[in-house]
Structure 1
């Protein structure tokens, strides 16, 4: 992915699962392991990881306890957490997102699935590092996301599904829609949505092709793109590949409306946090630039700063 050496922390009480995940993620830099939540927090505080993979069910401190404590710690709260668990219950997945998890993956694992979810989170981490460097060099002008009220763009040609999605998501923000890929791309560029939902099947293109086209547009850089899956088993590999390639940030299932809403809410919260971070980063480098100019003026006046 990059020359940057990521640090992953795997927290799971099952040694075999830890070894399997470590092997699957061997290309992603340093991997540390904890067989309990207590040890995981200790390791996270000793050396901040870029990503934590967390089991939900552990004796003593559960994964949910771990995540709640982590997100309450100002020094650790920004670390993304992926729950990796055998519990495929919508209520637990919703709880994970409520506590601040970035993703939720169910066992049994396959390498493509796990790598795709990890790649998505590490790509975001790398983006933060890149933005910081571009701010430092004075070459970065961020997009204007967050300047407008929350707006959810739904690209869906099925009228029934569109109506259901609008009813489900209306309290999260204003919902706009498009029935084709061409309309979706045009409206995304015009309205600067907070998040975009893309149906896998569209009359003029595929959802994956539209995701790829959206990703090429600098104007909507940073807008989460959520692919709406049809639930066909044979498509799972293609959807995971879309995550692996960075075409989509998440894959949602129509059949799980409560989980879908939780993931959309989570994506919007991530946008708000990103805008806050970008604002703080901008202010920091502006302050550094002002301080440097003051030093230059003093030097020009013949005063050597201490």
Structure 2
């Protein structure tokens, strides 16, 4: 309930209040007043988020209430929608000039009131605390794009808006309009609905998915005055709707109001950015400071205004040195007019197409190369624009993905080898047949390798117990991670192969054999067996028994088996097992 806006509905007609209450109940928390005097008292008691005010009331009318509200600092920015049964366009223009945000004529469809209420609240959501309603606070040199396929309509709007002194641009269809906006975003768009090639509704929808253009207010100007067209306009993101024909003073008043709200919002964005930099809002600054992703904000001139510790580490520069400097000069690889613009454009394009994010490489001054995934946000426009880039360091993730690709290839190859070795060990196929198949000379159907999960720590323990009973003792020293490891393979073949390998090594020493076993888990389970003893005969590593033991280890699931081949131990044997599985059982 607390997230709903607070509305004050003012009308001397009880039936009208009941209709409004029923329409707006799902969207707002409401209070009611039946006269202008009650309305002013209710505003003084609690300032609402929006006031819906009837014009024609006995005593203090809606225009009088509006004037009184604008004369008080506490309510000077209160959004007001005036409602009247009068069809006087001069009254509408006057109401907008003295401070109403919208003007709706009775009778109206309830859905339209909801649409206009939402559009106004959305446009008024962020306002500068010291914003003024006077026209001298309008954006200097505002740029307004007029979009209509009718040249007469374009000229009429030009003449109507001439008193603003704004820069007026024109487009004859939707495609021209979007191309113009992508070159430079306007401050306001007046958009016809029915146009060739790309209609106004499609243009407005395209603007909403662009983070920059989504901030630009859109007012539809259409000959289709039916309620369904107005509803559709607000559904695609419009801020206002004007039905043709209209008086020039009405268009001028509505455009002034939209520009005023846009100007106040941009001032608020700049104020927030300044507060961040000056640590006015220390909670936000602390969150940004400790964020794991690199965050950098630059203003419209490319000067670094905000930077966190992760960004300093990524770019290899201190925060103190970067703040207040041109990003292109102090941040290696930034290229503020190239890197940010390119990342911004590509990110939007990829989001619309559903593709993954683009990865950029940053070449730092110390020679390090980092791979980053950018997400770019922009607020405000022209001299008030703030660009914030969030850079996720993807270097380690990309390296891990590359290792996984290599491992995937190894697993495919090893599965074939394992099937061959198990077929040889079981006697199902002769060595000659398997050799011919491995060389690609014949096609030989093989059963899938027999895999079953086995507990690596348990199998090593069994080998340890077996080794201590040998005439020449074999002592195993196992170093495992903190969790019991499960591997995929044939546990009996693995254990028997390891036992044969150690027995062959032990047969060539006199005082026992010490074996250090180090285990690591990455994309596979890696075992390094380091044999510590003196070999009486170094040819043992080339003996058939040694090779047979390695083969049986392979049949057990050890997908690589290599030995150092040195004449003197320590000899290191590297084994890698298929498909690790880590359980949560802690090893004592």
TM-score, length-scaled by structure 2: 0.44
Who is 1:249 aligned against?
A: 239
SS at 2:154 equivalent = helix
Q: Distance in 1 between matches of 2:62 and 2:277?
A: 40
Q: Distance in 2 between matches of 1:190 and 1:3?
A: 41
Tell me the alpha carbon deviations over residues 262-293 of structure 1, each in whole angstroms, 9 at most, x when there is no partner: 21121112112222333334444444448789
SS at 2:126 equivalent = helix
Q: Is 1:77 matched with 2:76?
A: yes
SS at 2:22 equivalent = helix
Unaligned stretches of 5+ in structure 1?
133-145, 294-306
Q: Is 1:201 matched with 2:197?
A: no
Who is 1:12 aligned against?
A: 11
- Residue 66 of structure 1: CA displacement? 0.8
Tell me the alpha carbon deviations over residues 8-43 of structure 1, each in whole angstroms, 9 at most, x when there is no partner: 000111111111111110112210001111111111
Q: Distance in 2 between matches of 1:189 and 1:28?
A: 35
Who is 1:34 aligned against?
A: 33
SS at 1:211 equivalent = helix
Who is 1:304 aligned against?
A: none
Q: Is 1:64 matched with 2:57?
A: no
Who is 1:277 aligned against?
A: 268
User: Is the CA contact 1:154–1:198 (under 8 Å) kept in the aligned structure 2?
Assistant: yes
User: Is the CA contact 2:275–2:281 (under 8 Å) kept in the aligned structure 1?
Assistant: no
Tell me the alpha carbon deviations over residues 109-158 of structure 1, each in whole angstroms, 9 at most, x when there is no partner: 32111111112123335x439x99xxxxxxxxxxxxx9872111011111
SS at 2:215 equivalent = coil
CA RMSD of aligned residues (A): 2.6
Q: How does 1:233-248 map to 2 (within 5 A)?
A: 233=226, 236-243=227-234, 245=235, 247-248=237-238
Give the 3 Å change call, closer, same or farther, for CA 281–66 of structure 1 in structure 2: farther
Q: Distance in 1 between matches of 2:23 and 2:14?
A: 14
- Residue 52 of structure 1: CA displacement? 0.4
Q: How does 1:147-296 map to 2 (within 5 A)?
A: 149-172=141-164, 173-233=166-226, 236-243=227-234, 245=235, 247-258=237-248, 259-289=250-280
Unaligned stretches of 5+ in structure 2?
130-137, 286-588
Q: Distance in 2 between matches of 1:121 and 1:85?
A: 18
TM-score, length-scaled by structure 1: 0.82
SS at 1:27 equivalent = coil
Which structure: greater strand fraction? 2
Who is 2:100 aligned against?
A: 101
Q: Distance in 2 between matches of 1:63 and 1:288?
A: 43
User: Is the CA contact 1:5–1:29 (under 8 Å) kept in the aligned structure 2?
Assistant: yes
Q: Distance in 2 between matches of 1:290 and 1:284?
A: 6
Who is 1:142 aligned against?
A: none
- Residue 231 of structure 1: CA displacement? 3.5
Q: Distance in 1 between matches of 2:273 and 2:68?
A: 29
Which structure's CA Rg is the greater one? Answer: 2
User: Is the CA contact 1:254–1:260 (under 8 Å) kept in the aligned structure 2?
Assistant: no
Tell me the alpha carbon deviations over residues 39-90 of structure 1, each in whole angstroms, 9 at most, x when there is no partner: 1111112111111000011122111111111122211122110011111210
Tell me the alpha carbon deviations over residues 151-198 of structure 1, each in whole angstroms, 9 at most, x when there is no partner: 110111111111221122123211101112111012122232111011
Q: Distance in 1 between matches of 2:264 and 2:70?
A: 13
- Of structures 1 and 2, the one with the larger relative CO (CA 8 A, separation 6+) is 1
Give the 3 Å change call, closer, same or farther, for CA 261–117 of structure 1 in structure 2: same
Structure 1 stretches of at least 4 aligned residues deviating more than 6 Å after TM superposition: 290-293
Tell me the alpha carbon deviations over residues 205-235 of structure 1, each in whole angstroms, 9 at most, x when there is no partner: 22111111112221123211011111454xx
SS at 1:31 equivalent = strand
